[in-house]
Amino acid sequence: MAEILLHSPLTGWCLPLDDVPDPVFATRMLGAGVAIDPTDGLLAAPCAGTVAVPGDRRHALTLRLEGGIELLLHVGIDTVRLGGQGFTLDVRDGQRVQAGDALLRFDLDIVAREAASLITPIVAGPAGVVTVSQLRPPGPVRRGDALLRLVPASIAAP
């Protein structure tokens, strides 16, 4: 199994997880990665994978990748309380997607007014299965730019 290159799923401002205003993400409890403060409302697939949508939630989804790697894409902070308002899924649970495919759309104004933050964590895990290398420094990022490199543990060991 080879390394997986992740492309930015959003256009906006790339920032480290340390700057995410939620301790679950900032302390990497769910995995390592980055966050993006979006400037548009389209979340695209950063790589090929199989979509997992938890229940009726529309603010977050997981892509299942090779080797047991899971990539969580969580639009905004405390967005679960919106109950799906302002979010539209473009995919269904179990759907196979390719890099660049539209995953979900969200209304920036609604999310900005109703959620704690628009900052969107992108985290890979579980720990011990994958090593994450950031390719993009903090700053502006466009959807499709190289963002992260995921190295499965099976090839990361010397």
Catalytic residue among 6, 74, 118, 150: 74
Asked if residues 34 and 17 have their Cβ atoms less than 8 Å apart, the reply is: yes
User: Is 59 tagged catalytic?
Assistant: no
Residue 124's beta-bridge partner residues? 32, 71
Sequence-distant (6+) residues with CB within 8 A of 26 are 17, 18, 19, 20
Q: Are strands 60-64 and 130-134 parallel, antiparallel or unpaired?
A: unpaired
Residues labelled catalytic? 74
